[in-house]
Homo-oligomer: A and B are copies of this chain.
Amino acid sequence: MAFSYALLNQDKGSQARRGTITTSRGVIETPVFMPVGTQGTVKGMLPEALKEIGAQIILANTYHLYLRPGHELVKQLGGLHAFMNWDRPILTDSGGFQVFSLGELRKITEEGASFQSHLDGSRHLLTPELSMEIQLALGSDIVMVFDECIPHPAERKYVAESTALSLRWAKRCREVIPAGSRAALFGIVQGGMETDLRRQSAEQLQEIGFEGYALGGLSVGEETALMYEMMEYSLPLLPANRPRYVIGVGTPENLVEGVARGCDMFDCVMPTRNARNGVLFTSFGKISIKQARYRDDSQPIDPACDCYVCRNYSRAYLRHLYTSGEILASVLNTHHNLYYYQRLMADMRQALEADAFGEFRADFYRKREQTELLR
């Protein structure tokens, strides 16, 4: 089936909206959170567990899979879906963010980004064309254009030049994957924290035309208020009949505020990475399961949660697993955190359907104030 976005409900009190994205691998209800499966696996989660918690789409990292095991190998083995036993949609990032994170180890030219592998120091040149080739070889359902992620703070001159370069790269990506291809291609709005450059980027990307649009260069160290400001400014510049994705965001609060500003798609390593460090999300805020206070605590992580972990295990057991360095600590903590994120998105979708997003948002913050009573 052709890729499309359908708007189902538009909130009256905010930009929040509920919709569906149709892909050849199934329908995605939005707003949606995408668990991150960097190396062809969402760390600690079996595909069946991801389905159990309601994950509709996952994100995979182009940079990592290109270096190991290699996109050609994955293609030869039937694509990433078959390789990792996941039959729902996959969005692949462009590799840009990881390459730019390498700092001294990379160099940008008009052609692309040359870099040294973090694994073995080998030299590579990642171009828009190669990024497309990799993402197509992986069998991605949603391909992201290859772009430069601008750090914060950055000088206006650099932001303008980088945004212009990313636009030229976006054109080259669209040439490799024309509209109507099996894989959808998303453009990425850059422009740093400069609103006029954001507007220009959004407009020029729409002139090229993409199946969806993302905001890049957010959650890169700026103040939360500034990030919200950028979302608030940039998201309405994007067409209402296309999905909107804010890359690499964020905390539960960020998701609620992102949805309120009109975002449909999110991804972040926060729930999975925090889980492996024993930090767990609950309806009343975060807790650190390693704390001595949980030593003999027979309660579940979150008494308000109905996930597999909260139905079957105590904080005391999870603390024991964590302090003992057991594999199941990561497995169970990840399961809970990702469930929390999935449930949060499902609750927002339900509130939007019931025309009650405003109440949901107020209630979300009210619960956090009960922290000291419940934890």
Tell me the A residues contacting B by CB distance below 8 Å: 39-41, 43-46, 68-69, 73, 76-78, 83-85, 295-296, 298, 312-314, 316-317, 319-321, 323-324, 326-328, 330-331
Query: What is the minimal beta-carbon distance from A195 to any residue of chain B, in angstroms?
Result: 41
Residues of B within 8 A of A45 (CB): 328
The main secondary structure of chain A at its interface with chain B is: loop
A72 to B, closest residue via Cβ: B296
Q: Is A296 touching B44 in the complex (CB atoms < 8 A)?
A: no
Of A73, A312, A316, A320, which is in contact with the most chain B CB atoms at under 10 Å from its CB?
A320
Residues of B within 8 A of A316 (CB): 69, 73, 77, 83
Copies of this chain, complex-wide, total 2
A-B pairs, top 5 by smallest CB distance, nearest first, are A44-B327, A69-B320, A85-B312, A39-B324, A41-B328
Partner among B77, B83, B331 whose Cβ is within 8 Å of the Cβ of A331: B331
A83 to B, closest residue via Cβ: B317
Contacts A73-B296, A85-B312, A296-B76 given; does A327 touch B317 at CB 8 Å? no
Q: Is A40 touching B327 in the complex (CB atoms < 8 A)?
A: no
Residues of B within 8 A of A314 (CB): 77, 83
Alpha-carbon gap, A45 to B327, bound state (A): 9
Q: Is B41 touching A77 in the complex (CB atoms < 8 A)?
A: no
Partner among B83, B323, B324, B331 whose Cβ is within 8 Å of the Cβ of A44: B331
Residues of B within 8 A of A73 (CB): 295-296, 316
Q: Is A326 touching B43 in the complex (CB atoms < 8 A)?
A: yes
Q: Is B317 touching A84 in the complex (CB atoms < 8 A)?
A: yes
Q: Is A298 touching B77 in the complex (CB atoms < 8 A)?
A: yes
Contacts A68-B323, A69-B295, A69-B316 given; does A44 touch B77 at CB 8 Å? no
Residues of B within 8 A of A44 (CB): 327-328, 331
Partner among B68, B78, B323, B327 whose Cβ is within 8 Å of the Cβ of A330: B327
Alpha-carbon gap, A317 to B77, bound state (A): 9
Residues of B within 8 A of A76 (CB): 296
Q: Is B41 touching A321 in the complex (CB atoms < 8 A)?
A: yes
